[in-house]
Amino acid sequence: MAHMDNLPFMGTLSLLLGFTAQTTMKRWMDIYWLLVWPENAAIMFNSFFYENALPPDKARVVRHSVYRYLLLTYILLLRDVSIPVRKQFPTYNHLIEGKLLTEEELDVMEHANIAENSCRYWQPMLWTILVLKKYYRSPLSMSAAQRSAMDEVHFGNLVEELSRMRGKLGDILSYDWVPIPLASTQTITFAVYCYLVINGILQHYPLCLYTSDWSVMAWATRFAFSLLLNTFYLGWLKCSQVMVNPFGLDDDDFEVRRSGTSVALLIFKNAKKAINSQLHCSV
């Protein structure tokens, strides 16, 4: 028992925990920087879209369809990676009840030539581009009586933004597909708890060998610092476990259900009302 103090527990454990914490923290930050919000593309479309180029009823339908498709793209991806969003929309029928998807669109999604469990977040984004192409006219093919719903430069910028958004959403999905190996997490957890058990025995063993010349203050100081070190090890282990899945149910996980969709829902439901109110106030 006396020779166990000389074993390299602390150095090895510090190396393992440092590597694990650095890996999980880098993964957490990489996923955070990949987060995109649908309101960015919605605001761009709101700025570029010419309502006067279409009849009022059709312009309103186009505007709301684009907003709805952008939000649906975001939610369909989060259903595959985020537990809270999956609980909020467990099935496609819940999306229909939330006015984010129509029965005709659901039928198109279900009859697409892809596997049943495949990701479908890209389909609403494809519909968005098809809607834009339907009402966009190139200056070379446009007659004098026709007017495009969007300039050529604006159309290119919006398609580029949609492509960037799809790329980042795909990268988020890739992180969910390729998690940190379970054996690595289990090994680190097992090593930490084994060290805590062995260290607890080592700290209490000197009490069994108490002699008159033995320093109680030295033992108490050693025990206090050992307890503090064990707290640090447990804290780093807990941080690593929490950051493994940033889309879980922990208090420190990404709150994508509120912050990611609240502004987009506001744009989707109240865009026309907000514009009219702003114009009224400016007058």
**Highest mean pLDDT (candidates 22-26, 196-200, 256-260, 263-267):** 22-26
> Per the structure block, which two tokens stand in for 13?
């454990």
The end-to-end CA distance of the chain, in Å, is 85
Contacts by 241-248, CB closer than 8 A, 24 or more apart: 241/185, 241/189, 243/24, 243/25, 243/27, 243/28, 244/24, 244/27, 244/179, 244/180, 244/185, 245/179, 246/28, 246/31, 246/32, 247/78, 247/81, 247/82, 247/83, 247/84, 247/176, 248/83
> Per the structure block, which two tokens stand in for 247?
């889309």
CA distances from 283 to 46, 200, 278, 280 (A): 21, 74, 9, 5
Q: Is the pLDDT of residue 15 over 90?
A: no
For the entire predicted model, the pTM comes to 0.77
- Using one digit for the tens of pLDDT, what is the confidence trace for 231-250? 888 888 888 888 888 888 88
Q: What is the mean pLDDT of residues 20-38?
A: 89
- Using one digit for the tens of pLDDT, what is the confidence trace for 93-113? 988 888 888 899 888 888 877
Q: Where are the domains of the chain?
A: 2-28+182-243, 35-180+252-274
pLDDT at residue 171, as a whole number: 93
Q: What is the mean pLDDT of residues 148-176?
A: 89
